[in-house]
Structure 1
């Protein structure tokens, strides 16, 4: 999310200085009686730990009259808690929601909150392949914003080519990008591109690209083992480390996709539920939760049969 936010903010003219580090901020905003849950908070810190600026993130898929009031609370309480300038960032793939969320939100005589809105109008559809390979998140965001509109084939082609280059370069983020493309790219367009480009983008969190990465990692481990055939202890250590790293990467990616799917479907999780997903080490259980997220009508349903 940190990389995605930095890229997305740059599209609306906001640059995060390289010397600042983006770290996760508080997940819940307590207003005295209950926890309000934005979709995330990121805080830009200096090397000494001092907070320079905070961004409260909220993914919005529809016009919700109750949200502007909550947004004001999100920002004001986060500002008080972190004691640094705080901005609201609303992300949406829909043009109608984008214009609605732009505000300003009137607070009172001369006071208002103006959200930073990142949507189709601020995310370009004409990202070049060269630029996308430099910053893969640009291609992925283009699919999120334009993957179901008239530019779907254009953004899909660039994104798939970019992911293919990431796989070739053994970039461990390739599987995540492939799963996002699968989720947001028009199905007919995706199938056409798969056939034309001789690739297959399968559903999250088992994208074919992620499996390719795993296979490549396994083959790399075997090659290293052969080259160090006389050094059995070292070879064993490499294989164990590789297997452990791939397993951790798979679990983290699947947890991220579950949370992203829940947000896209408007299922609001509590901070405890989000923490439970992120810390889950049971692959089968995580997949059951993911399957339930597809059809659940509330976040509680995702976990109700596995408490």
Structure 2
């Protein structure tokens, strides 16, 4: 199969080889917004040439065109977003790492959630895939303090650790092309709603360990967390984990990239807006960025419009 990306459409070319196709009526091309199935009848029996329920992005099914070109079946799919470059026909780990890297424009990613271990593991997967720098606030703090987080909590309490991590996040907020794994639970800054000022400098992903059994209950769970004032509900992306097995870390990383892709495509100005937020000093006014004269302590600014 050959794939090419055009300005407003993508093209597939599938070699039919020596298959005898007496009529185009023996070819079936079924296209939906996010799925594609291509089948032929060969020697009287149906044969699937390609089937996916996860195209890289949405298409316009009614504008799908296909035809035979000698020994190839050519399928043209019209993009819903003509400006988006498709690295491949399907959404996969490989296509997402290429595509999301282009969309991020250098913006960093922050991973939050109750498990420091999970945050670190997914951080490394994402960093390798994107070519970003993996960073762990736990490792940075332990290197500075020359003691473990657990012993630090015992000696000085979780508030001291959370405040130290907040300072680390402040220093990292100006970094680009990084994937930052934060400390999980109440020992970490991200578990406290008043410590999110510098997390907004990047795209935040909440790796949420969930008891939800399906998508509907997962959405209800997320709404409940927002109502309850759960600090992690400040995250722009939520990835629900129905358990944890390190062997599936790449699948979790892929789900994170897929969600980030959808978020940015919903507003392509977001990476630039993140950059502006950083340049103005990460004052805590995300997502309604105030003008340069805005004073976070008083709420006063030199002019009233938001940016």
Settle same-fold status: TM greater than 0.5.
no
Greater per-residue strand proportion: 2
Greater per-residue helix proportion: 1
TM-score by length of 2: 0.24
TM-score by length of 1: 0.24
